[in-house]
């Protein structure tokens, strides 16, 4: 049996925070505001996996009013989602994700992002695709107010 899920996340860019996307610390004058490390890409991927499993979203599993998740690495949360997926007897078929940001350029970091996500999800690198796009200066991403990410995943049953 196969299942698909879609995920979306957005965070505001602010001064005084690190910019972490796909588990990669990207040098930039601003970072993403959030309870955890605010990794929009990993959050979108987690939501797509949980959606495929019909198990809600990351807010239900990792509430932003719970201090144990304050400033936590989203890769740790992704590992917990992996364990939920494994317990449900599924594995990643593939993930296709898009980062939407006017700045900074993501292309130099995408390889490391893919490696981080593939490692945590114990998936072949060839099954993880990440792309980045701008909005041609339109919308909140285009004005540099925030960054968003979208993800779709295919899960394959191991049973």
Please tell me whether 11 is known to bind a ligand: yes
CATH number of 2-157: 3.30.1330.50
pLDDT for the residue 91: 98
Domain edges within the chain: 2-157
Please tell me whether 152 is known to bind a ligand: no
Please tell me whether 98 is known to bind a ligand: no
Please tell me whether 111 is known to bind a ligand: no
Please tell me whether 61 is known to bind a ligand: no
Please tell me whether 110 is known to bind a ligand: no
pLDDT for the residue 13: 97
Place of tokens 């700045």: 103
Give every residue of the chain whose pLDDT is below 70, as ranges. Answer: none
* 134 φ, ψ (degrees, to nearest 5): -100, 180
pLDDT for the residue 159: 81
Please tell me whether 158 is known to bind a ligand: no
Please tell me whether 71 is known to bind a ligand: no
Please tell me whether 63 is known to bind a ligand: yes
What would the pLDDT profile of 99-112 be if each residue is shown by its tens digit? 999 999 999 999 99
Distance in angstroms (rounded) separating the CA atoms of residues 10 and 146: 7
What pTM does this model have? 0.96
pLDDT for the residue 130: 98
């Amino acid at each position: 049996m196969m299942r698909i899920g879609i995920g979306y996340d957005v965070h505001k860019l602010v001064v005084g925070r690190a910019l972490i996307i796909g588990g990669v610390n990207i040098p930039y004058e601003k970072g993403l505001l959030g309870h955890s490390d605010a990794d929009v890409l990993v959050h979108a991927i987690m939501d797509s996996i949980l959606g495929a499993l019909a198990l809600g979203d990351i807010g239900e599993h990792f509430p932003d009013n719970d201090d144990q998740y304050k400033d936590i690495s989203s890769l740790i949360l992704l590992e917990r989602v992996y364990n939920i997926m494994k317990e449900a007897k599924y594995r990643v078929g593939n993930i296709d994700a898009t980062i939407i940001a006017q700045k900074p350029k993501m292309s130099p970091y995408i390889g490391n992002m893919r490696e981080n996500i593939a490692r945590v999800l114990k998936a072949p690198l060839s099954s993880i695709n990440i792309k980045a796009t701008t909005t041609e200066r339109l919308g909140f991403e285009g004005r540099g107010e925030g960054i968003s990410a979208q993800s779709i995943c295919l899960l394959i049953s191991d049973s």
